[in-house]
Amino acid sequence: TEEEQKVISKQISSKLGEEHPLDYTVTEGVTKKFGLVNAYISKISDFVLSPDFFIESDDEEQVKIIDAFCNKTKLRSYQKSWFEEGLIKGAAYMEIAGLLDPASENEIKNISSDSIFIVRDEYGKIKTFNQFLGNSYSVINETKIIPLKPEEIAYLKVNAIGNCTYGYGLVYSALCTINNFLLADKSIHRLMKRKANSPIHAVLGDKEKEDYPEQADIDAFGEKLTFMNEMTEWVTGPNCEMKVLDFGNISDKFAGILDHDYKLLSYSFQVPETIMGAGNVPEGLANVQMDGFNRRIKAYQSDISNVYVKIFDKVLLNNGYSEEEIDYKITWGQPNEE
């Protein structure tokens, strides 16, 4: 109820941090159950991460240190699920344990966005990440709250609006279109199942002769029509007239609707139709779509790089470099011969 929601919101804001802007179970559930959404997320993730990244620096030792960190922690094996979590929910968290202690071994794990709440100061800077391990927000047990240090969290925010603490991801803004698409798809399959064969309208009796059948006779004949799958020949008396009803091509009536919703989904996820297998896109338009998609991919790679830089800087500081000595850049794609 509205009153219960107010209590929950007050509990979260007073003990955990800022409330999530959306219900993550909805966007995650849609991605799990609707293959098209899952395909959009996977396509974006594949294009962003498959080129891989490498470190460039005039100081070869810095490159070796960062590469050793990535290999030892298996960073690349965690980044796909981490990035896709951000696309689905708008916020993704990767914990790098031991990053603040140069003597400790670094270990990485991804944390579900559902359990993390952010606390910011008056200037918008993140003070802490609170992980809540309880089952209910109505009464929050403080023993179930684990504070996580911002320096040890790789926080990726996707599709953030303004100064919002969390992002909104890609699925949330497409929920209305997804719902319309699924309703239309469900309707066409229901009708195709019901109207796969031409429906028959049977008229029993003769009005001019005042021959009116009993309701039981009508029901009995209707049952025969219901189970006529294996009956190919029909013989009736003169007081029974059977006609075939033609509803036209049912699928054509929904093709335009589904195509319209499919285009809206493509716009929402910013994935070109050509990548998803659409075969009727003009070549010029397809090239423009791919160019725009590649720009979007580079923007995602830049966002990830900005998160990684904070981690790699700390790794170099732990290995004796000063802030002034740190000099490298993250490049996406395969290194050239040089």
**pLDDT per residue over 252-265, tens digit each?**
667 788 888 888 99
Please indicate whether residue 277 or residue 197 has the higher confidence score (pLDDT): 277
Are 152 and 99 within 8 A, CB to CB? yes
Q: Give the Cα separation of 63 and 55 in Å (integer).
A: 6
- Express as a percent the part of the chain with pLDDT over 70: 92
What pLDDT score does 237 carry? 75
- Express as a percent the part of the chain with pLDDT over 90: 56
Above 70 in pLDDT, residue 250?
no
Please indicate whether residue 338 or residue 9 has the higher confidence score (pLDDT): 9
Q: Which of 110, 107, 78 is nearest to 92 (CA)?
A: 110
What pLDDT score does 139 carry? 82
Phi, psi at residue 131, to the nearest 5°?
-95, 125
pTM for the model stands at 0.81
Are 88 and 109 within 8 A, CB to CB? no
The band of 202, judged by pLDDT with boundaries at 50, 70 and 90, is confident
CB-count burial class (<10 Å; 0-12, 13-18, 19+) for 88:
buried
Above 80 in pLDDT, residue 112?
yes
Q: Give the Cα separation of 308 and 67 in Å (integer).
A: 12
Those residues with Cβ within 8 angstroms of residue 96's Cβ, 6 or more apart along the chain or in another chain? 73, 106, 107, 108, 152, 153, 154, 311
What pLDDT score does 227 carry? 63
In the three-class reduction of DSSP (H, G, I as helix; E, B as strand; rest coil), residue 84 is classed as helix
The band of 246, judged by pLDDT with boundaries at 50, 70 and 90, is low
pLDDT tens digit sequence for 33-43: 999 999 999 99
Above 60 in pLDDT, residue 302?
yes
Phi, psi at residue 272, to the nearest 5°?
-60, 145
Above 80 in pLDDT, residue 336?
no
Averaged pLDDT, 67-77: 95
The band of 225, judged by pLDDT with boundaries at 50, 70 and 90, is confident
Q: Give the Cα separation of 147 and 164 in Å (integer).
A: 21
The band of 126, judged by pLDDT with boundaries at 50, 70 and 90, is very high
Q: Which of 69, 104, 76, 109 is nearest to 93 (CA)?
A: 109
What pLDDT score does 238 carry? 78
- Of 204-208, 232-236, 308-312, the range with the lowest mean pLDDT is 232-236
CB-count burial class (<10 Å; 0-12, 13-18, 19+) for 209:
exposed
Q: Give the Cα separation of 26 and 172 in Å (integer).
A: 8
Averaged pLDDT, 9-25: 92
Residue type at 310 in one-letter notation: K
What mean pLDDT value characterizes the chain?
88
What pLDDT score does 195 carry? 58
In the three-class reduction of DSSP (H, G, I as helix; E, B as strand; rest coil), residue 269 is classed as helix
